[in-house]
Copies of this chain bind each other. A is one copy, B any other.
């Protein structure tokens, strides 16, 4: 029997049902790209036509040329109607997705209670809908909702539902534990029984974490014959979440020898998990298995000395296999290789054996300890590395900023910023208003720089995220600001950290502008190798 598993990611659809998870179309496109790099086989993008974000997503994702198949989600046709006239089915077809995930009822109780129709009509709804989508050339993944509850209540009917879907041409039959209440031995038994009776069906599994068993239930189903696994990054999803792909993939691949995304791509797992949590703006639990910051952290003194003798004493896998690293309270060399590979990515000359490079590594580690994260702030990291290499001039000398927000009853709120800098030997003092404090700062800083660096007009801020780092202290805690900026052809990300959200924003803002003007503040040694400012059509100072 094949040991190859199809990974079906539904972060963008079922994941967004999680409390506090809300993704824009841009967010969804970024995550889709990242999932494609990770090597998942299916990316479920949303429900076409349910809202404008999903419409935009399905339109724009086609231009990304991803290797993964994009799938659109919908229900079987309405009762007592024609599949061809069903608005939702037609929206799936119009979405341009290569595959459709079609959800249908397999629990007789739900057919009566939720659909309020007959068991026969439900079978017809499933058959007609799948057959219609197949005629349109789509791959069809049939999600049998509440399959295990249905099977326990009325096994004949639950089985008849899957057989009907297969008869209609469904490519995958996916058994869903929609309420998350089923136990691993039950899942294993039911999947085995069905698999034995219909050995040529392609089976999938979709579980929820209501009993803290979603990962185990998925493994049970795979061991019983399922070959598609549906889940989400970090287990996002309604109630207690969906099955967490970040634990399932390494369990299947490293522990059970199944082929999922391959050895090399598995190394991107930690980075993917953290990237998605940044985009979703949800803190990752520090103790998350495999990809959490504490997943391979050792606190106990005895453990640490044993770990230093032999990692296998207290580590079940090599952390680097999933792109994570060991953390112990002694100088660790794990982070270094990441920085070296980043520097090489940027085309920088970076030799970790020389003293200057070691200093940069120490500085970056110290900043990370303070709460900076460079995973989602490449531009800030590049500035740090170039600065350490002595490549850069200062954009300006900072003197001060002041930021005032004032609200009087019945009046609109007013934000003003005042910036005092020395730019190219000239004292500059500017003031500006804005919609909010950061906008006011942005405006005042631009005003100060534009006469010396007109290119600043070409760029603008395109995303702004704030994260409280230590929730315990709430408004007295440290915050991290991530800013995304764009010009006509590029986008870049910068970071700032401070106990004060305004100071953190200022830091990320300044980095954003330094990066935009990089060509003009590199020292001559480098300027010779990069296009000169004149060549780039920029005024030199």
Taking Cβ atoms with an 8 Å cutoff, the residues of A that contact B are 17-20, 22, 24, 26, 51, 109-110, 113-114, 178-181, 183-185, 209-213, 215-216, 219-220, 223, 235, 237-241, 244, 247, 250-251, 255-256, 281, 283, 285-290, 292-300, 302-303, 306, 309-310, 312-317, 329, 332, 373, 375-376, 397-409, 413, 415, 434-439, 441-442, 460-468, 471-472, 474-477, 479, 483-484, 498-503, 506
Which partner residue on chain B sits nearest A181 by CB separation?
Answer: B316
Not counting A19-B297, A212-B247, A436-B502, a sample of 14 additional A-B residue pairs whose C-beta atoms are within 8 angstroms of each other reads A19-B375, A179-B316, A238-B300, A397-B409, A400-B406, A401-B407, A404-B404, A405-B502, A407-B502, A407-B506, A413-B502, A438-B501, A461-B475, A462-B474
Which listed residue (B22, B210, B460, B500) contacts A437, Cβ 8 A?
B500
5 nearest A-B residue pairs (beta carbon): A181-B316, A216-B216, A461-B474, A466-B466, A212-B247
Chain B hits for A24, CB < 8 A: 471
- The answer to whether residues A210 and B295 also contact, given A300-B238, A402-B405, A405-B500 and a CB cut-off of 8 A, is yes
Copies in the complex: 2
List 17 interface pairs A-B (beta carbons < 8 Å), by A numbering: A18-B294, A19-B287, A19-B375, A22-B467, A114-B309, A181-B255, A211-B290, A213-B251, A240-B292, A402-B405, A405-B502, A413-B503, A415-B502, A461-B474, A464-B468, A466-B466, A501-B501
Distance, CA A298 to CA B238, complexed state (A): 7
Distance, CA A114 to CA B238, complexed state (A): 44
Contact A404 B403, beta carbon cutoff 8 Å: yes
Chain B hits for A290, CB < 8 A: 210-212
Chain B hits for A237, CB < 8 A: 287
Which partner residue on chain B sits nearest A398 by CB separation?
Answer: B409
Contact A294 B477, beta carbon cutoff 8 Å: no
In the assembled complex, the CB of A239 is this many whole angstroms from the nearest CB of chain B, namely 6
Chain B hits for A403, CB < 8 A: 404-406
Contact A329 B210, beta carbon cutoff 8 Å: no
Contact B404 A400, beta carbon cutoff 8 Å: no
Distance, CA A22 to CA B310, complexed state (A): 28
Contact B476 A435, beta carbon cutoff 8 Å: yes
Which listed residue (B181, B297, B413, B471) contacts A498, Cβ 8 A?
B413
In the assembled complex, the CB of A115 is this many whole angstroms from the nearest CB of chain B, namely 9
Which partner residue on chain B sits nearest A20 by CB separation?
Answer: B376
Which partner residue on chain B sits nearest A477 by CB separation?
Answer: B464
Contact A294 B405, beta carbon cutoff 8 Å: no
- The answer to whether residues A240 and B501 also contact, given A435-B475, A471-B462 and a CB cut-off of 8 A, is no
Contact A211 B255, beta carbon cutoff 8 Å: yes
- The answer to whether residues A434 and B483 also contact, given A286-B20, A465-B468 and a CB cut-off of 8 A, is no
Which partner residue on chain B sits nearest A485 by CB separation?
Answer: B474
Contact B300 A438, beta carbon cutoff 8 Å: no
Which partner residue on chain B sits nearest A177 by CB separation?
Answer: B316
Distance, CA A250 to CA B181, complexed state (A): 11
In the assembled complex, the CB of A515 is this many whole angstroms from the nearest CB of chain B, namely 15
Which listed residue (B212, B286, B332) contacts A215, Cβ 8 A?
B212
Chain B hits for A442, CB < 8 A: 475
Which listed residue (B288, B436, B464) contacts A499, Cβ 8 A?
B436
Contact A437 B184, beta carbon cutoff 8 Å: no
In the assembled complex, the CB of A294 is this many whole angstroms from the nearest CB of chain B, namely 4
